Structure 1
Amino acid sequence: MRFLIFFFLLLGTCHLLLAQKLTSKSSSGTLIGEVTDSLTAKPLAYAMIAVLKEGKPVNGSLTDQNGNFRISNLPDGVYTLSVKYLGYKDFSIAGIRVKEANVHNVGNLHLSSDNARLKGVTIVSKQNTIENRIDMIVYHADKDITSQSGVATDVLRKVPMVSVDVDGNVSIEGNSSIRVLINGKPSTMFGSNLTEALQSIPASQIKAVEVITLPGAKYDAQGSGGILNIILKNNKAKGWSGNINGTLGSRLENGGIQLNYHKNNFGVNASFDGHSMLKSSTISTLDRHDFDSSGAPLDHMLQAGQGNITRGGYDVWMGFNWDITPNDNLTGSMDYDHFSMHSNNTMDQTIHYLTKPISSSLYQHRISGNVYGEHSSEYDLAYQHKFKRKGQELDALATYNPGHHTMNYFLQPFDSGGNIMNGAARSFNPGTDNESIFSVDYTQPVSKVTTLEAGVKGTFDYVASKTDYYGLVTGSNSYVPDPFRSQQFNYHQSVLAGYVSAITNLLHFLDMEAGVRYEATELKSTFSAGNPVIFPNYSTFVPSLIFSHTFKQHQMLKLGYSKRIERPEFRDLNPAINASDPTNIQVGNPSLGPEIHDRIELGYSFYIRKKAMTNITLYYNHSAHDIQPYTRFFPFYTVGDTTYKNVAVSTRENIGTEKNIGFNIFSSYSLNNKLDFRTNIFVFDKYITNRFVSGNHRNSLDYRINLNVSYQWSPKYEGEFFGMFHSKRNEVQGYYPSFYYYTLAFKRLLFNNKGSIGISLANFFTKYLDQTENITGPFFSYQSKRLIPYRSVGITFSYRFGKMDDKEDSHGKQQAGTREF
């Protein structure tokens, strides 16, 4: 009740405040207007606007997401307005009289499509692969030939500000606590294992990736590192159309088919995609030293082994889009996805016990395996109503996502004589994850320069996880249930949220986007035999604020602040124990609390004609109750009726605070519309304080650099090189190694540009990546080494049929029943 009263009071107050139209005198004139497509009347976002006097540019701007523009600080005079946009004919108006202290509205400027530029033998201009907006960076993956093979993690490696390590873990500017959306919506497939889920999305189906480091109030507060929104492809053309694509490779294979049918005001879409990572073998070693409380050595453990991993999965999707009236739209979709990962490992282990006066050694050969699997469904229904007033909209969305997951392992230890030893076991950890989401959003234009947004949302998650443990009966081949090791974990989380935000222009000089979001989180949980786990409920205010100013010659300066929260995911909370390596155990932490994150960002970007773009960002991040992996050493560790000796236990903990300060530079340059260069560099200083060890902190300088070069030597042939290097990554207990990645790709267009075939090579000079980690903690230190196979070659192909249309949804937003095929 308090939440509802607060929200409606806040909504009413903000509406009254924003309804006061800004009246500010200016000593100079202002031009405003709108740019739209002459055929569809859709707004054209980020069109280039230039104001010229006697043929020389004096000011300029870009249209916003609704196609509007505003150019201030114009002295009294007569000007020419020029508008340019990719794929459209240049447009200009001469003889515009601007008077001081007046706002001159040039009205709606309709641009006509320039098919000659797009279909001619010589390409005049190409869409930028990277697009810089006021609140996000957009990477157009469908314009990048080396992003058409592999899976989603291969695409994300090339996105500005984003890093992907060798295990597929994704981070934004060094922060791995991120929120990943599909077409603007959360998905249960990311809840249990984000890394594995991203491996299930074929790269060829990704149209674009949006990186949002300063999310506004309309976005969920979840994700302290920011938001990655993956936009899948869609075709809105009338009639039948479709696409067939696939990749055959030495490491990855995938394929899919997409079908679309649109007639009058109704359309349906369907797709099937499958993927597989062929068996790869990783060679690993571990060297660990353990100590007692006085610092005297306890033992020295050596391990050497090999793990074979395979992945695979498929996705089936169907959706519809119905324009009930010109102002009412209903969309819906059904999605089913399934993917799994299997690993089979062999390990030789020798432990030298150093406790005096008696020293001894123990040898063990182990065979173990892990299985992770998930299959989930998603049902979405969305309604949108557009009022008579332009920009006034009401959106409602209902989503139900039931999912199932499993995490199993087995262990068989043998002595030097080949006899099976005590400790052989099997563990099965099935579970369910059901999520329901309901939201309503309303957009109200207050004036030509001010828009108010408000909304409410409820998210309800229920997770149930069961662990069944079976131990081998000594002297037999029978496994029997162990009730002391079996357990049940139920977890329920409800988040009620409301927000208000406004987009406006201040004093004809500053564009501002401001908002506040309130989220009330309620938690309930039971563990094992119905015993409750006490979680405190909490509420969070999440403000956001962005100021920006566009200078002449297409320069933009931005300053922003946002607050975020990182709630633990189920994979972090699940108390199921993975003892497939009984000397290095992994377990979830059901008492993990949320991480609170504050970010300040200063950005500057500029364009040089249509050939070059540079974006520079300075930022400061502060994370309280920082969530990180943490390892402890135990001389004895008891689980049920089993006691492990000299074991390292890894879990997730709120380790303390982390502060990052750094910068990111992205730049692109096009030479003669054939040769393109792109580079991205980010550097940041990290300072971590460990609350578990008094006076312990770590300070390091981390950096990443990548380079992308593409060349189109004819309308049918194109080649591209991509390379990146990431420095070693320091965390609270040690560092993770540096690594590099590079690809070389070539593509040939076929069948009147409806089809293509290409080849892509990755890390072709080296078979393995050497990854050596050094971790230290109270009473232990270890060095682990992995040789990960990364060299690969793949052949890609695609074919489009029917009528093609690359334009966006007519309602300007991603609907529940649409994908960007």
Structure 2
Amino acid sequence: MRFLLLTFLFLSLIQYSYAKNNAGKGKITGNVIDSSTKLPVDFATITVYKLGSKSPVNGTSSDTKGNFAVTGLAAGSYRVTVDFIGYTQKVYEPVVLSTGTATLSLNTVLLISRDEQLQTVTITAKAPIIENKIDKLVYNTANDLTAQNGVALDVLKKVRMVSVDIDGNVELQGSGSIRFLINGKPSSIFGASLADALQSIPASQIKSVEVITSPGARYDANGTGGIINIVLKDNKFEGINGSINLSAGTRLENGSVNLNAKRGNLGLGVFFSGNKQLNTVSKSSSDRLSYNNSRDTVNKFFQDGTNPMHRGSYQTGVNLNWSISPKDELTATLGYNHFSNNGSGITNQSQQYLLASTGGLISDLRSIRNSNSSFSANATDISVAYKKSFNKDGHELELLYNGSFGTNTIDASQTSSYLNENFPTTGLRSSNPGKERQTEIQLNYTLPVSKKFTIETGGKFSIDDLTNGVVTDTLSGNSAYIRNANQTYAFHYKRQIYAAYLSASFTLFQDFLTGKAGLRYERTGNVADFSGADIAGYNTFAPSFTVQHKLDETQSIKLAYTFRIERPDYEDLNPFYNISDPHNISTGNPILKPEVGNNIELGYNKTFEKGANISFSGYYRRNTQDLQAITTFYDVLTINGIDYPAVALTQRVNIGSQTSVGSNIFASVPVTDKLNLRSNIQAGIRTNSNPGNSVTGFAYRVNLNASYQFANSLQAEVFGTYNAKQKNLQSTRPSAFNYSLAVRKQFLNKTASIGLTAANPFNTYLNQRQVSFGQNFNQNTLRMVPVQSFGITFTYKFGKLQFKKDSKEDNAPQLPDIGGGK
């Protein structure tokens, strides 16, 4: 019923947008030039008004060559303004479009520079919230109020085609195999714990999120679902400036400081940010019913407990940009990330054995389990990039180095005290330190053969080198710990990838079709000293293509195909048994093969005269050698000569295939000048097939965002998202509903603001009921996850800025915007 109601609301919005935003076919074009330097003025703001009206009907920004085109205009008389900070505004009126003159050119627009220093600046031009590009979708976070005191996961919940569950697990078009990047670069911080890493990045530091569902040949082939690139904030203006973001709340606290300096050809930026999740208590209970091999006895295992936990993190970094000459640019970044979490728990346990035939009780063992865990991760990221431009526009050579050096430590302990049997207290404690080094060297070369054909090629070499070890002590005689040789080990794992690619961008059939096609080759080699493991290397040939056709200036269709893989990581391959919970044990599988994915995507995008936008995408994905985590119940599991009773063993394996078919619909509708509605509906069917078993599950996700501009400096926003339940291979994922409210007031000429936020204000906990099943067990789990929070945020931008277009012939030192990260 919820799905039908939300679908009806969504379709009503579409109908309303069509009725209200009857798009025209008129277009106004031009080229913005600095009147003194004769250089293009990029990012100039072009705004179109109905003659006599103060409300704009459309607008755009000039590109790097100064060109612009405002489309979707109906016949009529207009006033056109061209602005850039530090220049005198240029006004054209009347500009008349008629049915006979659908396209009108303003030709060269000369802007006259004003040489002045501004103490405070108000920028009224806004980037669109959603940008659909031929190779990616961009979500701009500048006006994301409900996530303003949150973290990266809160931003991702609003991104089209992305879903986030209550545990921080992220899916892209229904796939959890995603390659995450920060500013286009990998980081070892993601390898330690993806959910923790995404909760360590304050939302206030994020400029945009780029979603690439059909990556081209230039991108790594890893990640069957695609790529998510988190772009951190920067600044492109001349001078010294900065910003402060602070937030406090009942569950989460954030803070960040950015300082940027740019003069001439040299730019420098530094930043520091951090957050802290205050102590929260989650509750859980599980009831597992399992059978032994002969099915003559039944095991009922029950757990009920509470788990307090808190988390903290901070990041800092510096970024240097030097335009050595008009055709040579050097960029270097250095970043450091740290996050940690600490948790504890008290769990009541009951283990009963019964006769299957009569239900008679054979034994009843009750205990109390106390556990503690501490996780800490650190990563230092270094990046150096050199770019050489040649005389021909677009002819470029890039050389890049990325290095990430991470360390992490996991300390854990648990003890079980038995209440109704004469058993001694059992327990263990372990320490698990590890180090990871990621190194990448990449070369890219771009050659425009003609205006309609460009060749791109390059190569890449990357190494992921990891060392890890576990030291485990077992409680003996209720008082002393002794070294457990079966749970103490060390290993070294190295993965090397050699890659090369060739791709071409083209325009065909008199601009009827634009696209990009390419082929990437990767050779993956693995070296590991896992016990008894011999991991074979493999070759990957990954073709891809994307084609797009513009039906007119307001709508386009796109078709894409990509070949992707998912490489098993070291924790998937390592055959060591993790027995931190003796009743729920996990291990790796050294014979895993990479998962192979073939993805097809079809998209449609339509914009309207007054800013409305509708986008549709459908996808088909077939994965073979599908990687799935499989749980098997053992009445008694023997590991290194020790018997463990009533064990659920989890291990990833290559199982058959997985086929996913789904669609995504997005709409943004400016209902009035003050009220804007956005909705996103994603639905899909996923089928897991393996010999003798096939499971099909349908799931959908719906979100709705409403923002209202009460006054020039006061704005409010409401956001809600619902994830439906989905049947998987061995479980049914529970549904979840989250909602949030926010209001923001700007002051001091919009250089400062205060915001109030509330997440799930009327629900302290979100109840997650999950059913898991296997050949010889069934389990029901209830988790009560704390979701309620209230917060207040404060932002302030400061500095004396000189807004002036740089002359590309000026070789004086200059420093970048670095306001945001690695």
TM norm structure 1: 0.85
Q: Distance in 2 between matches of 1:429 and 1:806?
A: 52
Q: Shift in Å at residue 204 of structure 1?
A: 0.3
Q: CA 1:735–1:130 in 2, change beyond 3 Å: closer, same or farther?
A: same
Correspondences of 1:179-578 after superposition (within 5 Å): 179-355=179-355, 359-416=362-419, 421-476=424-479, 478-508=480-510, 509-527=512-530, 531=531, 533-578=533-578
Shift of 1:501: 1.2
Shift of 1:457: 0.7
Aligned-partner SS, 1:128: coil
Conservation of the 8 A alpha-carbon contact between 2:122 and 2:750? no
Q: Is it true that 1:732 corresponds to 2:729 in the alignment?
A: yes
Q: Aligned ranges for residues 806-821 of structure 1 at < 5 Å?
A: 818-820=818-820
CA shift, 1:331, in A, is 1.2
Q: Which runs of 5+ in 2 are unaligned?
A: 1-26, 49-58, 98-102, 809-814
Taking the TM superposition and a 5 Å limit, the aligned residue runs for 1:550-699 are 550-689=550-689, 691=690, 694-699=691-696
Shift of 1:701: 1.2
Q: Is the 8 A contact 1:251 1:278 kept in 2?
A: yes
From the superposition, tell whether residues 68 and 348 of structure 1 become closer, same or farther in structure 2 (CA, over 3 Å).
same
In the superposition, relative to structure 1, how do residues 124 and 316 fare at CA in structure 2: closer, same or farther (>3 Å)?
closer
Percent pairwise identity = 38
Give the superposition deviation at 1:718: 0.4
Q: What does the per-residue CA deviation read over 1:243-274, in whole Å, with 9 as the maximum and x for residues that have no partner? A: 11111011111111111122221111111111
Q: Relative to structure 1, is the Cα distance of residues 684 and 220 closer, same or farther in structure 2, using a 3 angstrom cutoff?
A: same
1:140 is aligned to 140
Judging changes above 3 Å, is the alpha-carbon distance between structure 1 residues 810 and 642 closer, same or farther for their aligned structure 2 residues?
farther
In structure 2, relative to structure 1, the CA distance for the partners of 1:517 and 1:806 (3 Å cut) is farther
- Kindly state the Cα deviation for residue 38 of structure 1 after the two structures are TM-superposed: 4.6
Shift of 1:647: 0.2
Cα deviation 1:158-210 (Å, max 9, x = unaligned): 11111000001111111111011111111111112111110110000000001
Shift of 1:588: 3.4
- Once residues 598 and 660 of structure 2 are traced to their aligned partners in structure 1, the CA distance between those partners, rounded to angstroms, is 11
Moved more, 548-557 or 438-447: 548-557
Runs of 4+ in 1 over 6 A off after TM superposition: 31-34, 45-49, 60-72, 79-96, 104-108, 119-125, 417-420, 805-811
Would you say the 8 A contact 1:459–1:494 is kept in 2? yes
Unaligned runs of 5+ in 1: 1-30, 50-59, 73-78, 97-103
Q: 1:122 to 1:519 in 2, by over 3 A?
A: closer
Given the alignment of the two structures, is residue 802 of structure 1 paired with residue 784 of structure 2, yes or no? no
Amino acid at match of 2:378: H
Give the superposition deviation at 1:110. Answer: 4.8
Q: Relative to structure 1, is the Cα distance of residues 306 and 36 closer, same or farther in structure 2, using a 3 angstrom cutoff? A: farther
Is residue 782 of structure 1 aligned with residue 779 of structure 2? yes
**CA contact under 8 A between 2:259 and 2:819: conserved in structure 1?**
no
Q: How far 1:802 moved relative to its partner?
A: 0.6
Residues 536, 321 of structure 1: CA spacing in aligned structure 2 closer, same or farther, 3 A cutoff?
Answer: same
Aligned AA (2:424): M
Q: Structure 1 767/503 Cα, relative in aligned 2: closer, same or farther at 3 Å?
A: same
Distance 1:807 1:564 in 2: 44
Going from structure 1 to structure 2, the CA distance change for 1:95 and 1:504 (only over 3 Å counts) comes to farther
Q: Counterpart of 2:340 in structure 1: which amino acid?
A: S
Corresponding residue for residue 742 of structure 1: 739
1:546-597 Cα shifts (integer Å, max 9, x gaps)? 1111122411011111111111233434445433321112333343321111
* More displaced stretch, 740-749 vs 384-393: 384-393
The 8 Å contact of residues 44 and 83 in structure 2, kept in 1 or not, is answered as no
Relative distance call for 1:71 and 1:244 in structure 2 (3 A) is closer
Deviation sequence 1:493-550 (CA, Å, 0-9, x none): 01111111111110111011111111111111102xxx46211111111111111111
- Partner secondary structure for residue 379 of structure 1: strand
* 1:285/1:241 CA distance change after superposition, 3 Å: same
Over 3 Å counting, the alpha-carbon distance change for 1:485 and 1:513 in structure 2 is: same
Query: Aligned letter for 1:552?
Result: D
Q: How far apart in 2 are the matches of 1:504 and 1:81?
A: 35
Displacement after TM superposition at 1:399 (Å): 1.6
- Letter of the 2:466 counterpart: V
Work out the CA distance in 1 between the residues paired with 2:187 and 2:385.
Answer: 16
The CA deviation at 1:298 is 2.7
Distance 1:153 1:766, change over 3 A: same
Alpha-carbon distance, 1:753 to partner: 0.9
Task: Describe the superposition over 1:363-396 as per-residue Cα deviations: whole angstroms up to 9, x where unpaired.
Answer: 0101012222211111111111111111111111
Amino acid at match of 1:41: P
1:711-750 CA distances to partner (integer Å, 9 max, x unpaired)? 0111110000000101002211121100011110000112
Classify 1:789/1:749 alpha carbon distance in 2 versus 1 (closer, same or farther; 3 Å): same
- Contact 1:191–1:571 (Cα < 8 Å) also in 2: no
- Alignment root-mean-square deviation, CA: 3.7
Matched residue type, 2:383 = D
Tell me the SS of whatever aligns to 1:484. Answer: helix
Find the aligned partners of 1:147 and 1:810 in 2 and give their Cα distance: 38
Task: Indicate conservation of the 8 Å contact 1:149/1:204, yes or no.
Answer: yes
1:206-231 superposed Cα distances (whole Å, 9 cap, x missing partner): 00001111111111111110111111
Q: Choose from 722, 736, 747 the match for 2:719.
A: 722
The aligned residue for residue 759 of structure 2 is 762
Superposition deviation, residue 448 in structure 1: 1.2
- State the distance in 2 between where 1:441 and 1:406 align: 37
Instruction: Give the whole-Å Cα distance in 2 for the aligned partners of 1:506 and 1:777.
Output: 54
Paired residue secondary structure (2:545): strand
Distance 1:595 1:142, change over 3 A: same
Q: Within 1, Cα distance between the matches of 2:171 and 2:409?
A: 25
1:473, distance to aligned residue in structure 2 (A): 2.1
Paired residues in the alignment total: 759
Q: Is the 8 A contact 1:461 1:492 kept in 2?
A: yes
- Relative contact order (alpha carbons < 8 A, sep ≥ 6): 1 or 2 greater? 2
Aligned to 1:710: 707
Q: Deviations over 1:620-669 (max 9, x none)?
A: 11111222222111222233343211200123222321111111000001
Aligned equivalents of 2:83, 2:162: Cα separation in 1: 27
Residue 94 and residue 283 in structure 1: after superposition, are their counterparts in 2 closer, same or farther (change >3 A)? Answer: closer
Which AA in structure 2 matches 1:710? S
Deviation at 1:85, TM superposition (A): 8.7
Contact 1:191 1:570 in 2 (8 A): no
Deviates more, 1:617-626 or 1:800-809: 800-809
Q: CA deviation at 1:455?
A: 1.1
Q: Is the 8 A contact 2:239 2:802 kept in 1?
A: no
Partners of 1:666 and 1:253 in 2: how far apart?
Answer: 32
**What SS does the corresponding residue of 2:229 show, helix, strand or coil?**
strand
Quick one: distance in 1 between partners of 2:767 and 2:606?
39
- Give the whole-Å Cα distance in 2 for the aligned partners of 1:752 and 1:141: 21
